[in-house]
Amino acid sequence: MKEISRSLARQSSLLKKSFSWIASLCCAVFFVTGTPAFAMSNYEKAELTAQQTQEKKVQGKVVDKNGESLIGVNIIVKGTTTGTITDFDGNYKLMAPVDGSLIFSFIGYLDQEVPVAKQSTINVTLEEDVLGLDEVVVVGYGTQKKANLTGSVSAVKGDEMVKKPMADVRQALQGVSTGVTIIDRGGVPGEENLNINIRGIASIAASVAPLVLVDGIEMPMNDVNPNDIESISILKDAASSSIYGAKAANGVILITTKRGAAGEFRVDYNGYYGWQTPATLPELVGAEDYLNLVNEALVNAGMNPKYSDDYIRNTVAGNDPINYPYVNLFKELFETAPVLNQSVRISGGNEKSKIALSLNHMNQDGMLKNVNSKRYGFRLNTDFQVKENLKLRADVSFNRRDNEKPNRLGSAIGAMVGTSPVTVLKYPNGVYGLNKDNTNALACLEVGGMNESVNEALNMKVGADLEMIDGLTLKTDISYKSNNNRYKNYTAAYDFRDPENPDNVIQKWSPSKLLDGRWTQQEINLRGLLDYNKTFGDHSIHMLGGVDVTENKAYLLEGRRNNIYSNDYVELNTGDAEGQTNKGYKTDWALLSYLGRINYSYKGKYLLEGNIRYDGSSRFAKGHKWGIFPSFSAGWRMSEEDFMSSLDVINNLKLRGSWGQLGNQNIGNYKFTSTVYADFPYNFNDNEVNGYSQWYFANTDVTWETTEMIDFGFDLSLFDSKIELVADWYRKDTKDVLLVLPISYLTGLGASETNAGKVRNTGWELSITHRNQINDFHYSVGFNISDVKNELVDFAGNEPSISGWSILKEGEALNSFYGYESDGLFQSQAEIDEHAVQPNQSELKPGDIKLVDQNGDGEINDEDRKVIGSPIPHYTVGMNLYAEYKGFDFSAFFQGVLKAENYFYGAPNEGPAYEIFTTKRVLDRWTPDNPDATFPRLEAASNKNNYLYNDFWIRDASYIRMKNLQIGYSLPKSLLERWKIEKLRFYVGGTNLFTITDVESGLDPETYDGRPNYYPPVSTYTFGVQVRF
């Protein structure tokens, strides 16, 4: 432990020196520039000195090719920072030198340069940038023009996120970009469960989540208000990601929020109200079918039928729900729930200062009782032009989310599956009916206790850009973030009573329990960069170098007590002191990084880029702390060559190639240390006392996983850029994958991770976009498809690792499905007798699953198991449709997977055999009259067809889902001008409207393998309004 302390102390000392160095650098920016002045605008100052500087007043109007005014066009005096923007009517005015030029620029349009000369009025018509090559894309620590990109980067505009009124940005991103696999597994409001993988799964034990940065600060994506997003850049290959080094092995998602622009202040409001319903729910068989199926299962097991014809007839009639109940618990307990989401944004400023302030609020009820999530947040982005060569910025954002849900929510969903539909949910006298497991789904929601949490996230950043000489800029940023999570999990006690004699207690939930905890995390980041950008004739060079330091600390404190005095006052001090427990600890880690990048362009058609990052992490032992991560990429804009000039059909053709290495330091803390843990009871002098013990054998050689990637792609625009294609092929090898290798039992300790394995992901991506305009009708169609093949290349010589129906095995995808191959159903006793002996041979009957004897030895055993499928989806697709005609707009988005498999285990396969929820798939069970059935023979209390994992239960989980539909109407400007309103748009829409899939009985294709114990994905129907003043 002393060695650990010394190691951490040395690391801390190193970081403090780095922090001091960068802090001094930041302070220097302020002191070398003197005192700023904000007294008047550039226009006002220039007007006072116009006679001395031979400047003149210039004014005019900027329109598009249709003569429509363009609002917010930037007009800059070339070679200076003097400028302005157009107002609501497209008008502008500024002071400019008579021998100067004005540069007009606007997103989506080509820049235009106009000499001033003797002109006092300069009217400009901007042309649309149909190629989009001058569009700026956010990349690591900066921006690049789309034309100059040599890496694989997908860019998504913030407006596309707003078109999808979803509570979580991750849901809106699903299916939008190639190479990005997002699986939506549902989840209660505030705890949505979405898995994001960029170009495959590259690790077994370490995190596979991408790095998410919002304005340079690492934070969860679901903390971001979609209305604040300006753009999202997804860095997919090593060339674009390696500048982030040890954090970037799983890809990088960069979110840029909206900032203020010079001009009049604007107020934007976007709000919607919606209704939520389950996108899918398991389908229950009818009452008559269910009761007959239960009887059939009992008879097949050699027992008597349970339900008489009279009972079945009375149940089907439905006139007496107490004595003859039949309840679909999913439909009974899942309800339509409201959601309200509002956002308001105020932005504007002048040439000296610009601000953007946004506020947001969401109130989302769950579809089950006592589930709710509220979100509150604000963001303030400010920019100041202190001097001609100095810019300052200061940003702050705060998000708070209040979540509450029943403590036994998981048990409630499990009870919906595990309860017979002939169970009374709640009697008229208020007594809950119990199922065979002595529980009740409604009681779990109403009286099982509550979990409450409050999550607060504060992010602050200040920065400065100082142009030291022409083309050389010093950029510094200091950011601080704090996350505080307060949670209280209360498990209530409850007495279940006899419905006929409520004084008689027949089942207890006891004792009541309370867990009250605090999790606090603080992180500070300091960054200093030198940015040099210069053009020499046909040669352009852009260099970036700097240092980045991050220090993270986290604290946990928890207390537990039982027998809480009252459900109305749930606090720790109202519980029993005897038996109380508590725990608390602190963790910390730090990362010191040196980084560099160089871009070179010759005539804008031969492009080269090199990146390097040198990372030092406290998560590894001495000798393994530092790693270097380089990348190289090149691009050739073939369309700029003279020999391509005759091919008018091709507007842009760029070939790209890259190689690079990335790291993954997200392996947890202190893996290299012999950590000692508390709360280990042992016997001392015949008394049980708490002690300390080491859990696992430390591996001082553990280090980061390293990913090496190659990528080849092309960008192609055709027919005046009406058609755009982007394609990539890549191979992604991750070596030194963390594996738990066996060690001698004599150590008395568990094994720790060792860098030993290798995982390969090979894939391709293709996106096609068509845009066009026919008079007043604008439309676009976008389609993307991608695929990845995952393989465990090296398992360090280990035998395959089997867990349930999953396996880790060389040559196969990670966690492939593993079990027996099935060959239909036995049709006769003779066929059973002649077949190889199965483990359940004595129980087999016609209609049971027949397993394949792989080695032909006449016996079905472990040697006959094989890989029978994969949980990794293939051919992920997305299609986006958009149309606009005058004031009307229409957008639709489809998303899906063309090849996927899911292993359904347990309840979906048991149904009437255990008298629980029974899906409609059971109706096609085997009987002598239905030999071609898709479901085995029924037999009460028998699991013989289920416990032997086999491919009979693997289902095709491919699907196409209508993810979003929205129809809007914007009132004409001629009408709005009377009301002093710039924009007023009403819209209606829906999300997750329907799903096309072969997964039967209403089960969701994206659900987890195994039992369907999940809170389903949500369909939302919304009405909203957007207003701009």
159 and 203 belong to one structural domain: yes
Q: Give SS3 for 509.
A: strand
Residues present in the chain in total: 1029
Domain C-terminal end among 831, 864, 897: 864
Q: Quick one: angle between helices 309-317 and 287-300, nearest 10?
A: 160
Instruction: Give dist(CA 552, CA 457) in Å, integer.
Output: 15
Tokens of 492: 């209530």
Q: Is 699 part of any domain?
A: no
143 and 89 belong to one structural domain: no
Q: Is 445 part of any domain?
A: no
pTM to 2 decimal places: 0.85
The mean-pLDDT minimum among 202-216, 766-780, 885-899 falls in 202-216
CA angle at residue 660 from 656 to 665, to 5 degrees?
Answer: 140
Number of domains observed in the structure of the chain: 3
Residue 179 near residue 786 (C-beta atoms within 8 A): yes
175 and 238 belong to one structural domain: yes
Domain C-terminal end among 864, 895, 923: 864
Dihedral (Cα; 673, 674, 675, 676), 10-degree rounding: -160
Mean pLDDT, rounded, of the chain: 88
pLDDT in tens, 429-477: 999 999 999 999 999 999 999 999 999 999 999 999 999 998 999 999 9
**Residue 825 CB coordination number (10 Å):** 22
Instruction: Give dist(CA 591, CA 548) in Å, integer.
Output: 8
Smallest CA-to-CA distance from 391 within 503, 466, 486 is with 466
Residue 175 near residue 184 (C-beta atoms within 8 A): no
| pLDDT above 90 for 689 | no
Per-residue model confidence (pLDDT) at position 796 = 86
287 Cβ partners below 8 Å, 6+ apart? 312, 315, 316, 318, 326, 421
CATH (domain of 119): 2.60.40.1120
CA angle at residue 391 from 390 to 397, to 5 degrees?
Answer: 155
Q: Is 149 part of any domain?
A: yes
Per-residue model confidence (pLDDT) at position 132 = 57
Instruction: Give dist(CA 305, CA 940) in Å, integer.
Output: 11
Q: Is 201 part of any domain?
A: yes
Per-residue model confidence (pLDDT) at position 35 = 35
Instruction: Give dist(CA 380, CA 396) in Å, integer.
Output: 5
Q: Is 858 part of any domain?
A: yes
983 Cβ partners below 8 Å, 6+ apart? 970, 976, 1026, 1027, 1028
212 and 121 belong to one structural domain: no
Per-residue model confidence (pLDDT) at position 666 = 81
Smallest CA-to-CA distance from 344 within 423, 258, 448 is with 258
Instruction: Give dist(CA 773, CA 883) in Å, integer.
Output: 10
194 and 255 belong to one structural domain: yes
**Does 203 or 743 have the greater pLDDT score?**
203
Residue 415 near residue 440 (C-beta atoms within 8 A): yes
Instruction: Give dist(CA 230, CA 217) in Å, integer.
Output: 15
Cis preceding linkage at 931, omega within 30: no
Domain residues for 100?
Answer: 43-125
Q: Is 55 part of any domain?
A: yes
98 and 173 belong to one structural domain: no
Q: Is 537 part of any domain?
A: no
242 and 156 belong to one structural domain: yes
Instruction: Give dist(CA 3, CA 10) in Å, integer.
Output: 11
171 and 202 belong to one structural domain: yes
Report the DSSP pairing between strands 606-617 and 888-899.
Answer: unpaired
pLDDT in tens, 952-982: 999 899 999 999 999 999 999 888 888 889 8
List, as one string, the DSSP characters of 148-199.
G--S-EEEEEHHHHHTS--SSHHHHHTTTSTTEEEEE---STT---EEEEES
101 and 142 belong to one structural domain: no
Smallest CA-to-CA distance from 665 within 592, 730, 733, 596 is with 592
Confidence of residue 942 (pLDDT cuts 50, 70, 90): confident
Smallest CA-to-CA distance from 83 within 46, 38, 122 is with 46
Q: Give SS3 for 68.
A: coil
Instruction: Give dist(CA 29, CA 26) in Å, integer.
Output: 5
Distances (CA, A) of 515 to 521, 564, 677: 20, 11, 21
CA angle at residue 892 from 889 to 895, to 5 degrees?
Answer: 160
The mean per-residue pLDDT over the stretch 526-555 comes to 94
Confidence of residue 885 (pLDDT cuts 50, 70, 90): very high
Residue 845 near residue 826 (C-beta atoms within 8 A): yes
Q: Is 581 part of any domain?
A: no
pLDDT in tens, 342-355: 999 999 988 889 99
Long-range contacts of 671-674 (CB under 8 A, 24+ apart): 671/619, 671/698, 671/699, 671/702, 671/752, 671/753, 672/619, 672/620, 672/621, 672/624, 672/698, 672/699, 672/700, 672/701, 672/702, 673/4, 673/621, 673/698, 674/1, 674/4, 674/698
Residue 373 near residue 401 (C-beta atoms within 8 A): yes
140 and 254 belong to one structural domain: yes
- Neighbour-count burial of 229, counting CB atoms closer than 10 A to its CB (0-12 exposed, 13-18 middle, 19+ buried): buried
Report the DSSP pairing between strands 91-97 and 55-63.
Answer: antiparallel
256 and 145 belong to one structural domain: yes
Domain C-terminal end among 261, 295, 325: 261
109 and 175 belong to one structural domain: no
pLDDT in tens, 757-813: 899 999 999 999 999 999 889 999 999 999 999 999 999 888 898 988 999 999 999
SS3 content of the chain, % helix, strand, coil (to 5): 15, 50, 35
643 Cβ partners below 8 Å, 6+ apart? none
